Amino acid sequence: MSFLKYQNQSPDFLNNYLKYKRYIDCNAKTTVDETYFDLRTFLRYIKLYIYDKNKLNSITINEFKNTSIKDITIDDLNKISCFDIENYIIFLCNVSKNTAKTRNRKLATAKSFFEYLETNRLIRINPIKEINFARIEKRTPKYLNLEESKQLLAEIINSEEKFKIRNYAITCLFLNCSLRLSELTSINLTDLKIDNSEQTLIIHGKGNKERLVYLNSAVCEAIQCYLKVRQSLGKDNTDYNALFLSSRNKRISNRMVQTIIKENLTKIFKENSQKYHTHTLRHSGASLLYNEIDLDIFVLKEILGHSSLKSTEIYTHISNQKMKNIMQNCTVSSILERIGGNQNE
């Protein structure tokens, strides 16, 4: 975990907060790491804002990244005003070139952090409480249609890559099970059950929540082919139970999976590949389930591991054909006919 790796470079109050998020609040490892990176950016800005404000006008990104936060104190945070937070957001926009979505995420991270400090009476006033988030226009996320999904799988399995069988199984799992990146890389051999009676996979989702996913024959075949070539590790290896291994026989990392998927997407979409990424495959799987199979949205919610139906709604796209069928088959006359039919029974 990154926040543990860098704790010697962080002030104690930050380390305590991150440990609280991980071990008490049970946030996922990746979530806590992202929290650390966001708060490190915030504290770097605060240090320069308080002690070397003029430098903020001319600092380069590399200089900013080399700013130490080890000596930041709670007293420094008590000096911050609402106006200072607003200047931080302007800095993220103009200097760091962060999008509105990224700025909102970093603001949300800072809000949670200051709520923790306020609750534990480490600060006198919470300067960030009244800061509003930027308005973001909702956009439909990119996803692959059925033909593009088949093309991606074909591109991988027909390549000359040494690890194409592993990469094919990874992609097949993404598209068929709509997994998050961290869920895929955390799969263990003991999470799998593939036999004549049952084909299931236990997924370790956000907040350490587990869910059971049923595997279709295509996924089972892809995994079984991979298991035949997967290196068998002794129990003295810490990653012996990991399903997907790197070339060094270590649990495959998020970054490596991102690279694998991105490289293959680039082969298909060429100059337009920047629009697609690993999460596109999760979204693609959910979209195909909803549009092609006409899956109920409540069932889709369980498959995706969402705690709220609102989160699932972004994974649903009513295709033109589906809309056409709905409008043609749900006329007022057809409704009246059904009502009349029910009354006659």
Tell me the pLDDT of the chain (345 aa) as tens digits.
577 888 899 999 999 999 999 988 888 888 899 999 999 999 999 999 999 888 887 888 888 889 999 999 999 999 999 999 999 999 999 888 898 989 999 999 999 999 999 999 999 999 998 898 888 766 666 778 888 889 999 999 998 889 999 999 999 998 888 888 989 999 999 999 988 778 999 988 877 788 888 888 899 999 999 999 999 999 999 999 999 999 999 999 999 999 999 999 888 887 776 778 888 888 777 777 766 666 666 666 766 666 666 666 665 554 444 545 545 555 554 445 555 555 555
In a domain, 231, yes or no: yes
Task: Please check whether residues 150 and 114 belong to one and the same domain.
Answer: no
Task: Please check whether residues 249 and 299 belong to one and the same domain.
Answer: yes
Query: Which amino acid type is present at position 95?
Result: V
Strands 192-194 and 210-214 turn out to be: unpaired
Task: Please check whether residues 89 and 165 belong to one and the same domain.
Answer: no
Cα dihedral 71, 73, 79, 85 sign: positive
Spatial separation of the C-alpha atoms in residues 329 and 47, rounded to whole Å: 63
Query: Which amino acid type is present at position 142?
Result: K
Number of domains in the chain: 2
- Nearest-Å Rg of the Cα atoms of the chain is 24
- CA 323 vs. chain centroid, Å, equals 30
In a domain, 267, yes or no: yes
Task: Please check whether residues 74 and 153 belong to one and the same domain.
Answer: no
In a domain, 90, yes or no: yes
Q: Is 323 exposed, middle or buried (0-12, 13-18, 19+ CB in 10 A)?
A: exposed
In a domain, 334, yes or no: no
- Asked if 51 contacts 80 with a C-beta cutoff of 8 angstroms, the reply is no
Spatial separation of the C-alpha atoms in residues 41 and 95, rounded to whole Å: 12
Write down which residue in 119, 154, 170 finishes a domain. Answer: 119
Task: Please check whether residues 230 and 112 belong to one and the same domain.
Answer: no
CATH of the domain at 304: 1.10.443.10
In a domain, 135, yes or no: no
Write down which residue in 119, 135, 165 finishes a domain. Answer: 119
Task: Please check whether residues 193 and 96 belong to one and the same domain.
Answer: no
Domain ranges, residue 64: 2-119
Q: Which residues are catalytic?
A: 180, 206, 279, 282, 306, 315
The two tokens of residue 207 are 């907040």
Side-chain half-sphere exposure of 181, counting CA atoms within 13 A: 18
Task: Please check whether residues 164 and 82 belong to one and the same domain.
Answer: no
Task: Please check whether residues 103 and 209 belong to one and the same domain.
Answer: no
Give the single-character DSSP code of 137.
-
Spatial separation of the C-alpha atoms in residues 17 and 4, rounded to whole Å: 12
Contacts of 266 (CB under 8 A, 6+ apart): 273
Spatial separation of the C-alpha atoms in residues 100 and 91, rounded to whole Å: 12
pLDDT of amino acid 70: 94
Task: Please check whether residues 59 and 208 belong to one and the same domain.
Answer: no
Task: Please check whether residues 167 and 93 belong to one and the same domain.
Answer: no
Give the single-character DSSP code of 270.
G
Task: Please check whether residues 113 and 154 belong to one and the same domain.
Answer: no
Task: Please check whether residues 230 and 314 belong to one and the same domain.
Answer: yes
Write down which residue in 72, 101, 119 finishes a domain. Answer: 119
* 3-class DSSP state of 187: coil
In a domain, 275, yes or no: yes
pLDDT of amino acid 318: 46
In a domain, 269, yes or no: yes
- Asked if 9 contacts 68 with a C-beta cutoff of 8 angstroms, the reply is yes
Contacts of 48 (CB under 8 A, 6+ apart): 55, 56, 59, 64, 67
In a domain, 77, yes or no: yes
pLDDT of amino acid 255: 92
